[in-house]
Structure 1
Amino acid sequence: MVNKDTDDAVLSLRDAAVRAEGDSRPLLEIAALDLAAGERVIVTGPSGSGKSLFLSTIAGRWAPGLRFSGTRIARFVRLGMIPQRGLDALHPLTPLGRQLRRVTGSRSDRVAEVLAAVGLDDLELHRRRPAELSGGQAQRAAVALAVLTRAPLILADEPTSALDHDSRERTLRMLDAVIGPEQTLVVVTHDPAVAEALATRHLTIDAGVVSEHPVRERAHL
């Protein structure tokens, strides 16, 4: 799983492993991985296989009681996160537009532009608190927040799991369109439609071991 231009990788991992303190058995193993700018990396695997731990390792943030070994080289200072529930990325009581301006330091016109790009172009929605948005609207707002951070790497944890079929399709189209071509997107998912729609690379995790999987032709969104 090594890219040719490793010096240009957003993130590089070598002989990486995560273990619980006092346990020699690895919970996650990554022999070699380079994430390049602009890649759409989809990560799949059964429940309990280590997908969430993989995202933690990409982010460099591990729960207490876990230890990392190996080499991790991160060439970014900002990281965008899209959680399963969009509301988890937002303060529920601060009006959406004001919140995005304050958190990201973006101008009002830029916030309005990105919110429109994710399908939230109604100015009334910008004045609402996130707690007053629907689940689908909050998920789009979380995507807008990640984009506005201008982070070179964006991680998404099951971003379509809480959505119905129509909302899922809209979210996939939105992700494909709004994440910049220079931004790297890593999506953990159980949904094969996400891999078919977005993946330029497909990683699988089985019992904590990360491996590369052939990428199918991307589905038309």
Structure 2
Amino acid sequence: MSVHPASPPLVHLQGVEVVTRRTRQTLLSVPDLPIAPASRAAVMGPSGAGKSMLLSALTGRLPAGVEMTGLRRATSDLRIGFVPQRGADAVHPLMPIARQLRAVTGADAARIRQVLAAVGLDLQLLGRRRPAELSGGQLQRVAISLAFLGSPALVIADEPTSALDGASRDETLAVLSELSETTGSALVVATHDPQVRDRLDAQLIRVASGQVALGLDREAEAA
């Protein structure tokens, strides 16, 4: 995995708190969290700890009823791709896959074919199918294709393997790993599964009761 520590972070949260607008209750506290170019991070913590809220803070798009204080710095014209928990949530249920990929990303057929091939899908075979005709693993790979077709510098994935069986999980992680490597995109994945972090060789971001802490990287842990 190539990382460029001398480059400025793609996104940097400093002294950030996410609070409810009405009651000013603190939902998330982030003392200092930089996301470097071409890096990989696994956001881990129990259900309800604030993992999804942290992903929202990184994108700068928060749910209704909350607001963010502190500093969020991002590189200019930062493109962010997003992979949801269920691939079906990324697509229109009635529109053929190829038409959706063109409509959403504006990519031409050659580019779509290239990215689909990278995730192990064939445009000619699947392009005319609708989402209901695909398996869960295939839909998740379509969602990954949508995220990467826009040539993002950062891809954020929210529990992308939790709805998959073991084999589909491993295939999805392999696809995420290969695409992030070949495109140079940074990758931040929220998960409760330690194997996700291990397979992606990702740095740990711990979230517990709304408190965010950056764990050691792999080399430091091994020392």
Task: State the TM-score, normalized to the length of structure 1.
Answer: 0.91
Please tell me the residue identity of whatever aligns with 2:116: L
Q: Name the CA shift for 1:215/1:12 in 2 (closer, same or farther; >3 Å).
A: closer
* Matched ranges for 1:95-134 at <5 A: 95-121=96-122, 123-134=124-135
In 1, are the aligned partners of 2:33 and 2:214 still within 8 Å (CA)? no
Q: Describe the superposition over 1:7-38 as per-residue Cα deviations: whole angstroms up to 9, x where unpaired.
A: 62100111100011243442111111111110
Please tell me the residue identity of whatever aligns with 1:27: L
Matched, 1:73 2:73: yes
Deviation at 1:87, TM superposition (A): 1.1
What root-mean-square deviation, in Å, do the aligned CA atoms of Structure 1 and Structure 2 show? Answer: 1.9
Please tell me the residue identity of whatever aligns with 2:112: V
Task: State the TM-score, normalized to the length of structure 2.
Answer: 0.90
Partner of residue 172, structure 1? 173
The sequence identity of aligned pairs, in percent, is 45
Partner of residue 193, structure 1? 195
Partner of residue 83, structure 2? 82
Quick one: distance in 2 between partners of 1:113 and 1:74?
Answer: 29
Q: Name the CA shift for 1:26/1:6 in 2 (closer, same or farther; >3 Å).
A: farther
Partner of residue 184, structure 1? 186
Please tell me the residue identity of whatever aligns with 1:26: T
Quick one: distance in 2 between partners of 1:215 and 1:86?
Answer: 29
In 1, are the aligned partners of 2:98 and 2:123 still within 8 Å (CA)? no
Quick one: distance in 1 between partners of 2:106 and 2:123?
Answer: 21
In 2, are the aligned partners of 1:203 and 1:210 still within 8 Å (CA)? yes
In 2, are the aligned partners of 1:111 and 1:148 still within 8 Å (CA)? yes
Partner of residue 36, structure 2? 36
In 2, are the aligned partners of 1:79 and 1:154 still within 8 Å (CA)? yes
Please tell me the residue identity of whatever aligns with 1:206: A
Deviation at 1:78, TM superposition (A): 2.3
Quick one: distance in 2 between partners of 1:166 and 1:90?
Answer: 22
My pick for the range that moved more, 43-52 or 99-108, is 99-108
Q: Name the CA shift for 1:13/1:104 in 2 (closer, same or farther; >3 Å).
A: same
Quick one: distance in 1 between partners of 2:111 and 2:171?
Answer: 22
Q: Describe the superposition over 1:134-182 as per-residue Cα deviations: whole angstroms up to 9, x where unpaired.
A: 1111000000111101111111000000100111111111111122452
In 2, are the aligned partners of 1:81 and 1:155 still within 8 Å (CA)? yes
Quick one: distance in 1 between partners of 2:67 and 2:7?
Answer: 26
Quick one: distance in 1 between partners of 2:184 and 2:125?
Answer: 31
Quick one: distance in 2 between partners of 1:97 and 1:122?
Answer: 7
* Matched ranges for 1:13-52 at <5 A: 13-52=13-52
Q: Name the CA shift for 1:191/1:26 in 2 (closer, same or farther; >3 Å).
A: same
Residue segments in structure 1 that go unaligned for 5+ positions in a row: none
Residue segments in structure 2 that go unaligned for 5+ positions in a row: none
Partner of residue 210, structure 1? 212
Partner of residue 10, structure 2? 10
Partner of residue 142, structure 2? 141
In 2, are the aligned partners of 1:82 and 1:154 still within 8 Å (CA)? yes
Quick one: distance in 1 between partners of 2:151 and 2:216?
Answer: 30
